[in-house]
Amino acid sequence: MSTIDERVEPAAGLMTAATRGARSRQPSAPWMAFLWRLLLSDYFVLYLTIIFFVVASFFFPTLSAPGNISNQLSNIWPLLAVAVGQTFVLILGGIDLSVTSIMAVTSVGGALLMTQVLDGPTFDKSPLWGTLINENGGLLSGNPQAVLIAVAFMLLLGTLIGLWNGFAITRFKMAPFMVTLVSMIVFSALALWLTASRNVSGLPADFVLLGKGDIVSVFLGPKLNPDIARRDVLPFITYPFAIAVTLAVVAHYILGRTVFGRHMYSIGTNRRASEISGVPSQRVIMLVYAFSGFCAAVSAILYSARLEIGRPSLGDGLLMDIIGAAVIGGTSLFGGKGTIKGTFFGVAFFILLLNILNAMRLSPFVIDAVKGVVILTAALLDITRTRLANREQRA
Amino acid sequence: MSIVLETRNLTKAFFGITAVNNVSIHVNEGEILGLIGQNGAGKSTLMNLVGGVVQPDDGTMLYMGKPYTPRGPADATRERIAFIHQELNLFTNLTIAENVFIEGFPTVGRGPFRLIDRGAVKKLTQQVLAAVGLDLSPDMPVDRMSPGERQLVEIAKALYLDASLIILDEPTTSLTNRETEKLFEIMRQLRAQGKALVYISHILTDVLAISDQIAVMRDGQLMTQEPASAFDINRMISLMVGRSIENLYPPRTSQPQADSLLELRGICAAGIVEDVNLTVRKGEVVGLFGLMGSGRTELARMLYGLDSYERGDIVVKGQPVKRASSRASIRNNVAFVTENRREEGLLMNINIADNIALVSLPNFANPVTQVINKNEMLSSAGQVANLLQLKSGNIALQPAKALSGGNQQKVVVAKWLLSKPSIFIMDEPTRGIDVGAKYEIYGIIDQLAAAGSGVLFISSELEELMGMCDRILVMSRGEMFGEFQRSEFSQEAILRAAFREGGNGNHHGQRSNGQ
């Protein structure tokens, strides 16, 4: 009996202190109190994105045009897929710089396998010409299972590269930055070498469907003909949507609900303490890098299918967007912190930002500079939010 | 003979705990002052005050007859006070010369063209190295040197600064006998040159042999400062210990049983532990005592599987452990409450419940999907927190770092309790926590033993071991140097063993002294 009393009392005392502290700090004006709550909310970035969208639509009406929304949504899904894997790595306190090169090499690898036709004069400089590829396309050209096998190959390749990163980091005790930087350079070069720097076209129609197939589409406008032309239909729920969201939901559950997820957070917070407490850190780290490679491959499939090519420069310039989206979503580069939900909001925010900057017709260099400033601001804001939330907890 | 340094009524408290209380000592020119006391007696804090590392709350210091109020270590250096710390402050990636001159290189040229005078650096370094009898190249990186050589480089640095007062805090812990002899030789030379030295050490025979004066501290207070001729080992020990220990410890409620839970047979690791045997029985609390550097923490880490050993067997519940690792230990129901809560015990930024559940997470998960039953986990964590009377907010929300030291320690203990271990290794479980929380930790240790667990209780506070243990083992320089049953407990006898002044263990390897 007495033990229960003793436990309840300080807890109750703490609660009143907390509410008192919060009340004294919170400004009396209700709109300020509202802003305060907004700032500390898990959904802060989502609210910010919505506000941003509404305000910007006022200045750039094209932003809220259905065609633009449909287009921007389709930009979100491939980026989300690769950002999910990066979020996992960042939670461990690591970093995966190689994701863009994994995307490039899986993109061209898959494409070279399943392409139906190749242009001789351009591809005869590829080291694979005459053995694995020729005028009739790749090894799987004409094979009825070509798409299935090629997709499986791409996923496997991405996972294996990620596994190699994880292996080098855990077994050789090398810095993640170093290992993944080398992977980035090596696999990017490999992608360029295999294709002689050319895009690989002639992909099977079934594959292209993965990037463009729609589930729910809307036709807006007057119905003049009985047949609606394909390009007039605006897809909102698409195959890429289904694929990326499934991946994100699975990742969300792994992170939040499983032993593996708890272990990831604990390694990212304090690896030494985790190991003493029996967390199999090497295994977790290896699997997480493998997962990051897998996610990059998924992203490569979505991008390649949408572009209808295997592209050796696929991930170029994307790294800042990927890490930026995760950081905007509240993932800490110090490890131990981050959610898939946050990364999703971060991706949406980032795509919106790019959309607005493009609508402003700024030069790509200015756009890059603005992106950098936004990422820095987001990181700073997150530190402030964490400090405020801690104070709330401590009061 | 003039006084170089004098402290008057110096007082310093950390977070309400008085580390140095009203201490007045003096160091004479051309003399060595030996400073002794148990761990936590305030020796290091006193010297940190002199070295400007911390500032006093009260009291004054006189240096060369003038008031001396250092605001930082740089002030002490300017006044030519050299402080050689317990843990060496050398940059191991730099060379000897770079280390000697780290606080200011000789330069040539002026203005923006001021450059380091490499030639002068080399020549001066060679000079000071010769003065300490080191025949090494000034360009040798420090990480290729032995601990003894590094110690001498620290002294060379002090010589370069032409220090008038040199403080040496436990300089011999990592030195071999020959290196120690060499160090003493140099200390005597410095004394002959009229320098004042303060020598802090746990090795009482050394202190007695080399000091001119000896000061004894206990619980932050100076017990006495007298010429060395007024002391013998017995008097030193009895001045260092003292204080009654009644009511500080809960009564033990159980007796050890016959079956052994944990056995170490001949564990060896070169330079760390030598041929260590140890047994922990069911329901027994075994104390492991030793001075800093005695190898007690290292032994615990080997036994839990964090560090490797070269020879010997670890036997848990009659089964030899093939390859010790933390995961194997957890499977064998061995728990390890580490010495260092912040770095090795807790996930500071993560909530209390997740901290408590960390070791036993798989027990709350679906074996196939690995999905955690969160309600079950939270209620179990809550139960253990209740049992230990953890004072916290909502355990699912509050991060561990928001707790007080004592409550943080309870979280570490709770984490292991939840995994239902039968062998507890506790390394300094009461370090840095207040008296009330200590009493509660002692209570938990007694309950664990009463429930049939075996506890290996490692501490540098002898009194708490005497208060709680059924048996105390004493380690000294990597060896088991004594074993005391509860009926034989005596502070003096145990400390003597720790200082290798006696004990009832094997005496091989005891060092004979120079004088």
pLDDT band at B86; cut points 50, 70, 90 = low
Q: Is the pLDDT of residue A9 over 50?
A: no
Q: Kindly list the residues from chain B whose CB atom is less than 8 angstroms away from the CB atom of residue A263.
A: 361
Q: B110 and B209 share a domain?
A: yes
Q: Is the pLDDT of residue A228 over 60?
A: yes
> Tokens at residue B216, please?
């004894």
Q: Is the pLDDT of residue B499 over 90?
A: no
CA distance A263 to A273: 11
Residues 17 to 46 of B: which have CB under 8 A from any A CB? none
> Would you call B365 and A394 a contact, using CB atoms and an 8 Å cutoff?
no
Out of A259-263, A315-319, B85-89, which region has the weakest mean confidence (pLDDT)?
A: B85-89
> What integer pLDDT is reported at residue A392 of this predicted model?
61
Q: Is the pLDDT of residue B17 over 70?
A: no
CA distance A78 to B382: 42
Q: What percent of chain A has pLDDT over 90?
A: 54
Q: B28 and B84 share a domain?
A: yes
> What integer pLDDT is reported at residue B242 of this predicted model?
60
Digit-coded pLDDT (tens) for B394-408 = 899 888 887 777 788
Q: Is the pLDDT of residue B3 over 70?
A: yes
Residues 372 to 411 of B: which have CB under 8 A from any A CB? 372, 374, 385-387, 389-394, 397-399, 402
Task: Summarize the confidence of residues B72-88 as an average pLDDT.
Answer: 82
B223 located within any domain: yes
B166-189 CB burial, b ≥16 within 10 A, e <16: bbbbbbbbbbeeebbebbbebbee
Please name the helix (run of DSSP H) or strand (run of DSSP E) that holds residue B455, with its range, or none.
strand B454-459
Out of A59-63, B149-153, B221-225, which region has the weakest mean confidence (pLDDT)?
A: B149-153
> What integer pLDDT is reported at residue B104 of this predicted model?
73
pLDDT band at B44; cut points 50, 70, 90 = confident
Q: B22 and B149 share a domain?
A: yes
> Would you call A7 and B415 a contact, using CB atoms and an 8 Å cutoff?
no
pLDDT band at B197; cut points 50, 70, 90 = very high
> Would you call B344 and A273 a contact, using CB atoms and an 8 Å cutoff?
yes
> Would you call A277 and B371 a contact, using CB atoms and an 8 Å cutoff?
no
Final residue belonging to a domain, choices B388, B420, B452 = B420
Residues 331 to 360 of B: which have CB under 8 A from any A CB? 336, 338, 343-350, 354, 357-359
pLDDT band at B78; cut points 50, 70, 90 = confident
Final residue belonging to a domain, choices B395, B420, B445 = B420
Q: What residue in B sits closest to A254 (Cα-Cα)?
A: B371
Q: B122 and B262 share a domain?
A: no
Q: Kindly list the residues from chain B whose CB atom is less than 8 angstroms away from the CB atom of residue A6.
A: 389
Q: Is the pLDDT of residue A220 over 90?
A: no
Final residue belonging to a domain, choices B391, B420, B449 = B420
Minimum-distance CB partner of B347 among A6, A257, A270: A270
Q: Is the pLDDT of residue A8 over 50?
A: no
Counting the structural domains of chain B, the total is 3
Q: B222 and B360 share a domain?
A: no
The verdict on B420 touching A (C-beta cutoff 8 Å) is no
Q: Is the pLDDT of residue A39 over 90?
A: no
Out of A300-314, B121-135, B202-216, which region has the weakest mean confidence (pLDDT)?
A: B121-135
> What integer pLDDT is reported at residue B91 of this predicted model?
83
Query: B400: closest CA among B358, B446, B456?
Result: B358
Strand B260-269 relative to strand B273-281: parallel, antiparallel, unpaired? antiparallel
Q: How far is A182 from chain B (nearest CA, A)?
A: 26
Q: Name residue, tokens 């989206």.
A: A325
CB A106 within 8 A of CB A296: yes
> Would you call A278 and B327 a contact, using CB atoms and an 8 Å cutoff?
yes
> What integer pLDDT is reported at residue B435 of this predicted model?
62
AA identity, residue B474: V
Minimum-distance CB partner of B326 among A253, A269, A275: A275
Q: Is the pLDDT of residue B515 over 50?
A: no
> Tokens at residue B421, please?
């271990």
Digit-coded pLDDT (tens) for A103-148 = 999 999 999 999 988 877 888 888 888 888 888 888 888 888 999 9
Q: Tabulate helix, strand, coil % of chain B (nearest 5).
A: 35, 25, 40
Minimum-distance CB partner of B372 among A6, A262, A336: A262
Minimum-distance CB partner of A277 among B372, B398, B415: B415
CA distance A52 to A54: 6
CA distance A52 to B436: 54
Interface test with B, best of A276, A282, A391 (most B CBs within 10 A): A276
Angle at B411 between CA B408 and CA B416, to 5 degrees: 140
Cβ contacts below 8 Å, chain A against chain B, sum to: 97
Q: How far is CA A382 from CA A328, A332, A379, B142, B491, in A?
A: 8, 8, 5, 42, 54
Helix axis angle, A319-328 relative to A66-91, nearest 10°?
80
Q: B352 and B321 share a domain?
A: no
B454 located within any domain: yes
> What integer pLDDT is reported at residue B33 of this predicted model?
94
ipTM, two decimals, is: 0.81
Q: What percent of chain B has pLDDT over 70?
A: 93
AA identity, residue A347: V
Please, what's the largest Cα pairwise distance for chain B?
80
> What integer pLDDT is reported at residue B233 of this predicted model?
80
| Among B101-110, B483-492, B503-512, the range of highest mean pLDDT | B483-492
> What integer pLDDT is reported at residue A395 of this predicted model?
45
> Would you call B349 and A269 a contact, using CB atoms and an 8 Å cutoff?
yes
Q: Is the pLDDT of residue B433 over 90?
A: no
Domain A65-220+229-315 falls under CATH 2.60.120 = no
Minimum-distance CB partner of A265 among B336, B350, B371: B350
CA atoms in the 13 A half-sphere facing the CB of B183 = 27
Q: Kindly list the residues from chain A whose CB atom is less than 8 angstroms away from the CB atom of residue B329.
A: 278
Task: Summarize the confidence of residues B164-172 as an average pLDDT.
Answer: 86
Out of B39-48, B159-168, B268-277, which region has the weakest mean confidence (pLDDT)?
A: B39-48
> What integer pLDDT is reported at residue A229 of this predicted model?
65
Q: Is the pLDDT of residue B505 over 60?
A: no
> Would you call A336 and B350 a contact, using CB atoms and an 8 Å cutoff?
yes
CA distance B497 to B489: 12
CA B303 and chain centroid, separation: 19
CA A270 and chain centroid, separation: 25
> Would you call B371 and A253 a contact, using CB atoms and an 8 Å cutoff?
yes
Residue A272 class from Cβ within 10 Å (0-12 exposed, 13-18 middle, 19+ buried)?
middle
CA A39 and chain centroid, separation: 24
Task: Summarize the confidence of residues A8-18 as an average pLDDT.
Answer: 36
Return the DSSP state at A133.
B
Q: B234 and B254 share a domain?
A: no
Q: Is the pLDDT of residue A11 over 70?
A: no
> Would you call A262 and B338 a contact, using CB atoms and an 8 Å cutoff?
no
* Residue A318 neighbours by CB under 8 Å, 6+ apart: A79, A82, A100, A103
pLDDT band at B99; cut points 50, 70, 90 = confident
Q: B164 and B224 share a domain?
A: yes
Digit-coded pLDDT (tens) for A172-212 = 999 999 999 999 999 999 999 999 999 999 899 999 999 88
Q: How far is A394 from chain B (nearest CA, A)?
A: 6
Any bridge partners for residue B58, and if so which?
A: B11
Q: How far is A272 from chain B (nearest CA, A)?
A: 6
Instruction: Work out the number of other CB atoms within 10 angstroms of the CB of residue B21.
Output: 18
AA identity, residue A138: G
B174 located within any domain: yes
Out of A248-262, B175-189, B268-282, which region has the weakest mean confidence (pLDDT)?
A: B175-189
> What integer pLDDT is reported at residue A192 of this predicted model?
94
> Would you call A258 and B358 a contact, using CB atoms and an 8 Å cutoff?
no
Q: B205 and B138 share a domain?
A: yes
CA distance A279 to B327: 8
Q: Is the pLDDT of residue A23 over 50?
A: no
Q: B262 and B289 share a domain?
A: yes
pLDDT band at B128; cut points 50, 70, 90 = confident
Q: B226 and B207 share a domain?
A: yes
pLDDT band at B155; cut points 50, 70, 90 = confident
Using a CB–CB cut-off of 8 Å, the residues of A that contact B are 3-4, 6-7, 10-11, 14-15, 18, 253, 257-260, 262-263, 265-266, 269-270, 272-280, 336-337, 390, 393-394
> Would you call A278 and B354 a contact, using CB atoms and an 8 Å cutoff?
no
| Among A385-394, B394-403, B500-509, the range of highest mean pLDDT | B394-403
DSSP string, B398-436: SBGGGS-HHHHHHHHHHHHHHT--SEEEEESTTTT--HH
> Tokens at residue B406, please?
């004592």
Q: B266 and B379 share a domain?
A: no
Instruction: Work out the number of other CB atoms within 10 angstroms of the CB of residue A240.
Output: 29
Out of A166-180, A311-325, A332-346, B107-121, which region has the weakest mean confidence (pLDDT)?
A: B107-121
Q: What percent of chain B has pLDDT over 90?
A: 33
Angle at B25 between CA B23 and CA B31, to 5 degrees: 160
Please name the helix (run of DSSP H) or strand (run of DSSP E) that holds residue B383, with its range, or none.
helix B374-387
Q: How far is A368 from chain B (nearest CA, A)?
A: 33
> Would you call B372 and A258 a contact, using CB atoms and an 8 Å cutoff?
yes
Task: Residue B370: give the domain boundaries.
Answer: 347-420
CA torsion A219→A223→A229→A230, rounded to 10°? 10
Q: How far is A388 from chain B (nearest CA, A)?
A: 14
Q: Kindly list the residues from chain B whose CB atom is less than 8 angstroms away from the CB atom of residue A277.
A: 326, 330, 358-359, 415
Rg (CA), chain A: 24
pLDDT band at B42; cut points 50, 70, 90 = confident
> What integer pLDDT is reported at residue A7 of this predicted model?
35
Full 3-state SS string of A98-114: CHHHHHHHHHHHHHHHH
Q: Is the pLDDT of residue A13 over 60?
A: no
Q: How far is A369 from chain B (nearest CA, A)?
A: 33
Digit-coded pLDDT (tens) for B459-469 = 888 888 998 99
> Would you call B393 and A390 a contact, using CB atoms and an 8 Å cutoff?
no
> What integer pLDDT is reported at residue B15 of this predicted model?
62
Q: How far is A277 from chain B (nearest CA, A)?
A: 5
B340 located within any domain: no
CATH of the domain at B460: 3.40.50.300
Q: Is the pLDDT of residue B512 over 60?
A: no
Domain boundaries defined on chain A = 65-220+229-315
Q: Is the pLDDT of residue B393 over 90?
A: no
